[in-house]
Structure 1
Amino acid sequence: MLQNSRTDNWINRDNGPPEFRPGPVVSLADVLAVLAFIRRHVPIISLTCFAALGVATLYLITVVPTFTAKALLIVNAKATFADAASVSTAVESQIGIIKSESIASAVIEKLGLAQDLEFTTGQGSGMISRLLGWSKPATEASAARYALEPFERKLSAKRVGPTYLVEITFGSRDPDRAAQIANAVAEKYITHQMDKGSLQDDQWVKDRLNELSTQALAAQKALEDYSKNRKEPADSAATIDKLAAAAESSENAYDNFRYVLRKTVATQQQSSPVFEASLVSAASPPLRPSSPKARIVLGIAIVGGLLVGIAIAFLRDLLDRGIRTSGQESRLSAPDDRIDRPLPDAVRPDHQSQASAKATPVRLTGSG
């Protein structure tokens, strides 16, 4: 009975819930085997590590570093949004405008980036350029188009958390150039929003307002001057009525134009909310390159070298084990795994027959 209860206890423990089952135990023999494996293959692992470090060092020496400048601006909506999703959609739309082709083209034209070697990697002439599909731009417009692709690849804009802040970053080989371009992008975006935000910023609107205001002031001044300097009372009443009507007409035209202008601006703001953008902090030249990062590159090289070295050592052990196994199997000739070893010459059958022939006794007979 005692033996059966013990057996039942073992069975219940094996069939229990997974959280109560004992996990795999690493024995001391396994640890010693791993240490012995590493000790045997230290030269191979060390060689792969040094090779990987050499490749990483060569990469850090030859690669051109990239400097990333950051500018921070805020976009304030004049309209009130109902929920956070609407705010996120509105801010993302402004980020799309910042990264648009119109802003990029304006910055390229302003800073003359079409002639910068950093943005003309796709331009060239000759047989190699023709084979690769490159062609030398014939006009300034085509040169700007070539510079547009690398410009958009280096430009980035993202929202800073659940706020109206937008971070503009630009990466370049020259830290001063990176800061200059990031600030130019922010400036062009702010100018674009100001030009689009209100019709009062258009030059035609300003000129028209000035013209109507001048006409109204001139008509009013003419009425006042005539009223002070009139000489003939008979004609003064009719003239004053005409001047008063002209002054009133000019003033009404000015007021009506301003009223229509305000209504148009209000309609635009209701249909598509206008954003007021302002620069929070301008980009300054970065002091350190953003890429490549030496610590990360060297760390990846060390880990990769260790893994490659361990893999090579493991494959080498497998090959050695396979060669030894095939050598042993070639020596096995009997089903009971008896090893067929060469027999000495003294015990070979042919040598035994020869030896027996040589050892045949000779009878000696004698007379009497």
Structure 2
Amino acid sequence: MLQTNSTDDWVGRDNMPPDFRPGPVISLAEVLAVLAFMRRHLPIMLVTCVAGLGIAVLFLIAVVPTFTAKAELIVNSKMTLADAAAVSTVVESQIAIIKSESIANAVIEKLGLAQDPEFATGQGSGMISRLLGWSKPKTEANAARYAVEPFERKLSAKRVGPTYLVEITFDSRNPERAAQILNAVAEKYITHQLDKTSLQDEKWVADRLNELNTQALAAETALKDYDRNKTKDTADAADTRDKLAAAAESSKTAYDSFRHVVRKAEATQQQSSPVFDASLVTGASSPLRASWPKPRIVLGIAIVGSLLLGLAAGMLRDLSERFRTIGQKAGPSAEDGRIERPLPDGIRPDHQFDASARTKPVRLPSSG
């Protein structure tokens, strides 16, 4: 007959799988101890909670609210992109253009943000650096440059999922101002969606084409006027007409050649780099509620923090009382202001009694 031995079990308590090991058990005594601790220190916790709520309410009253305006742009590429990585690169590059300093300068100049107190007021570190001589003083000439830093800090842009959508936001103390600035950012980006070099050369190309076209028209008009008004068919007249005809032909050839070069350059650019077509999907509107501070979050943090502070104060109080009790038990006992000290064995009362008992003679009663 087989017998089982507890020491030969196929699995022991320490070798049990983690899923089958018994978890920590909270006894009733521990629960009662926690409840007693909270009941004993309830006044301290209430005081800290009321103080924390008061500080939170004062913070909500004193802080200046911030409003966040939102808008959405779609950035399409006319070229076929092979994979998701290429699409992500394209969208991230456009986000960098939206947040670039050139867009910020254009919006600041258009809306006059350099004179706006929200952007013109220097930060603490900037004031300290200017006092120490680490930066130049703020003047009207460089006021726009000082406004760029807070402008870029308030502007943010991010991609919406794996799409061509870009969400841009702007923070401001004034909700109408936030929406106005964000719409201006979207407008400047859509207007200047080409690269910086193309934007700089576009005006020069148009001006040059107009100049060559004007010269060609003037030369052709001069030739027609001469043919209409000529009276004699002399050698000098023929020579003059040949010169006018050559000037008109040269001007027309120069205009046609430059126009051909421009068209060829545009075709080459379209083949070498993607062309973007950006449009505004959702315009910015004035936000109805402040994005910061949020009263629920502030009050919740104040309540939790004050309760934890009250618990910490209660624990420190219990520890101080425990140390005080231990110190009283370990100290010397005193009664009536006197300190009891052990007596030598020669003069202790019990030893005196033993000595007298040994030296006292014993008398026997007489028989008669």
Q: Which TM-score band (shorter chain)?
A: 0.7 to 0.9
Q: What whole-Å deviation, never above 9, does each CA across 1:320-350 have from its counterpart, x for those lacking one? A: 11211221222589xxxxxx899xxxxx959
Once the two structures are superposed, residues 59-116 of structure 1 have per-residue CA deviations (whole angstroms, 9 ceiling, x without a partner) of 1110000111112222222333222112211211111111111211121111111111
- The one-letter code sitting in structure 2 at the alignment partner of 1:266 is A
The 1:31/1:61 distance shift into structure 2, 3 A limit, reads same
With 192-201 and 152-161 compared, the bigger mean Cα shift is at 192-201
Aligned to 2:151: 151
* Counterpart in the other structure of 1:310: 311
| SS, match of residue 19 in structure 2 | helix
Query: In the alignment, what sits opposite 1:78?
Result: 78
Shift of residue 22, structure 1, vs aligned partner:
1.5
> 1:189: which partner in 2?
189
In 2, the alpha carbon distance for the partners of 1:207 and 1:193 equals 21
Which residue number in structure 2 is paired with residue 299 of structure 1? 300
2:130–2:137 CA contact under 8 A, matched in 1? no
CA distance 1:176–1:133, shift in 2 (3 Å): farther
* Number of the residue aligned with 2:283: 282
Question: How high is the sequence identity, in percent, across the aligned residues?
Answer: 73
| Secondary structure of 1:19's aligned partner | coil
Counterpart residue number, 1:330: 331
Q: Give the equivalent residue in structure 2 for 1:267.
A: 268
* Post-superposition offset of 1:253: 4.5
Please give the per-residue CA displacement for 1:7-64, whole angstroms capped at 9, x wherever unaligned. Answer: 6559823433332222211111111111111111111111111111111111111000
Distance 2:326 2:196 in 1: 82
Where does the alignment leave 5 or more consecutive residues of structure 2 unmatched? 335-339, 343-347, 354-368
SS of equivalent to 2:69: strand
Name the counterpart of 2:97.
97
Between structures 1 and 2, the one with greater helix share: 1
Higher mean Cα deviation, 8-17 or 46-55?
Answer: 8-17
Structure 2 length normalisation: TM-score?
Answer: 0.75
- Output the CA distance in 1 between the equivalents of 2:341 and 2:316: 32
Contact 1:195/1:201, CA 8 A, preserved across alignment: no
Corresponding letter in the other structure for 1:162: P
Gaps of 5+ in 1: 334-339, 343-347, 354-368
Aligned length, in residue pairs: 338
CA distance in 2 between partners of 1:140 and 1:226 (Å): 58
Q: Check whether the contact 1:137–1:143 (CA below 8 A) recurs between aligned residues.
A: no
Deviation at residue 136 of structure 1 after TM alignment: 8.6
Post-superposition shift, 1:315? Answer: 1.6
Q: Distance in 1 between matches of 2:32 and 2:100?
A: 62
Tell me the amino acid that sits aligned with residue 172 of structure 2.
S
Q: Report the AA paired with residue 48 of structure 2.
A: T
The one-letter code of the counterpart of 2:42 is V
Farther off after superposition, 138-147 or 324-333:
324-333
Q: How far apart are residue 223 of structure 1 and its match? A: 9.8
Partner Cα separation in structure 2 for residue 246 and residue 320 of structure 1: 110
| 8 A contact 1:197–1:275 mirrored in 2 | no
Tell me how far apart the structure 1 counterparts of residues 260 and 135 of structure 2 sit (CA, whole Å): 55
- Partner-residue secondary structure (3-state), 2:52: helix
Deviation for aligned residue 1:252? 5.2
Q: 1:32 to 1:105 in 2, by over 3 A?
A: same
CA pair 341-35 structure 1, distance change in 2 beyond 3 A: farther
